[in-house]
Structures are given as structure tokens and as C-alpha cells.
Amino acid sequence: MEAFGRLVERHQDHIYNAVYHLVGSEQDAEDIAQDVFMRAYSHLNGFQGRARFSTWLYGIMLNAVRSHWRRAGPRRTVSLEGAGDETRADPPATGDGPVRRAVRREHVDAVRGAIAELEEEWREIIVLRDIRGLSYEELAETLDLPAGTVKSRLHRARAALRDKLEPLMGGVGEGL
């Protein structure tokens, strides 16, 4: 139990942040993250050590998020309510003046909004790769997809995100 508690401490912010970026609600993210760790604990004997623990945990997280989406009914856009608040998901930038912080906040909000409008499978892959930093191998294992499919899906997701950001940011999304 103590060892599992340390695993929770080590991974809870990563799981919460990924869930928050996928569902857009702090309350839902907290509930889903808690559910992820309850599921992980009850299925701990299913972890066979072939993959990293974090990869296994992200798989559980995706299943919990997908269950949430199914219960929520038809696909909704993620709410950006509270997106301007300081949350665990968005550490403050240091060394920036107030104007630069305001511009950065606008860009963060625009990117969050564009991610929220993506198809769910594209939102998942963008969040896991570009926000959470999973490797292609970890993505393939987490999503149970071949590496080539992961790369092509990520390419399509980034293109869709770039298309959504273009009118909002006037070319800022070109580096995506």
C-alpha cells in the first residue's frame, strides 16, 4: 500500500494534467484522475512490467476519459471555463513582464480552445505527445496502435490543430 501511495504521488499531477487537457473541466479531471488510480490499484496484478508503469497508467487514463465521454453523450466541445486561472496544468512563466504574460495567456487559451475542438482521437494523441511528452513507442503501446499509425494520426492531428490556430493567431501555429 505504501509503495502504491508513492506511485500515486509520483504520477498524480501528470495524470490530472492530461485528463484536464482532454476534458477541460477541473472537477471532471479530479474525479477521473481519482478513478484512474482506483482502477490502477484494483488491477495492479494486471501490470506485468512489459511496459513502463506510466505507460500502463496512461492506458487506464484513456479508458477512463473515453468512458467519461460516452457518459457525457454526444461529442461536446471542452469548456474553457477557468482556463485563465492558474492551475496545476499551467505553471506561471518567470521573467516575463505583464504584457508578455498577457500575450502568452492569450496564446495558451487559443491553443487550449483549438485542442478542445479536435476530434477525440486527435485530442488524445496531441495531449499525450505534445503536452505530456510520451514517446512514439509509449504512444503506440498506450493507444494499442502500430507506430506508423501513431505517426500518421499525430501528423493529421497537428495539421488539424494548425488549421484551427491559423485564423486565431495569424500564422503563429505554423511551427506545430
**83: alpha, beta or left? (left if phi > 0; alpha if psi -120 to 50):** alpha
Q: How far apart are CA 41 and CA 71, in angstroms?
A: 23
Q: What is the pLDDT of residue 123?
A: 93
Give the whole-angstrom CA distance, residue 29 versus residue 110. 20
Nine cell digits for residue 67: 468512458
Q: What's the CATH number for 97-169? A: 1.10.10.10
167 pLDDT band (50/70/90 cuts)? confident
> Domain-by-domain residue ranges, the chain?
1-76, 97-169
What was the pLDDT predicted at 87? 41
pLDDT tens figures, 46-97: 887 788 888 899 999 999 999 999 888 655 544 444 443 434 444 444 566 7
CA-CA distances (angstroms) from residue 112 to 41, 49, 87, 89, 149?
Answer: 31, 34, 13, 11, 24
Could you read off the pLDDT of 7-44 as tens digits, one per residue?
889 999 999 999 999 998 899 999 999 999 999 999 88
Are 141 and 60 contacting, i.e. CB atoms less than 8 angstroms apart? no
Whether the per-residue pLDDT at 168 is higher than 60: the answer is yes
**Amino acid 48: pLDDT:** 79
The CATH code that applies to domain 1-76 is 1.10.1740.10
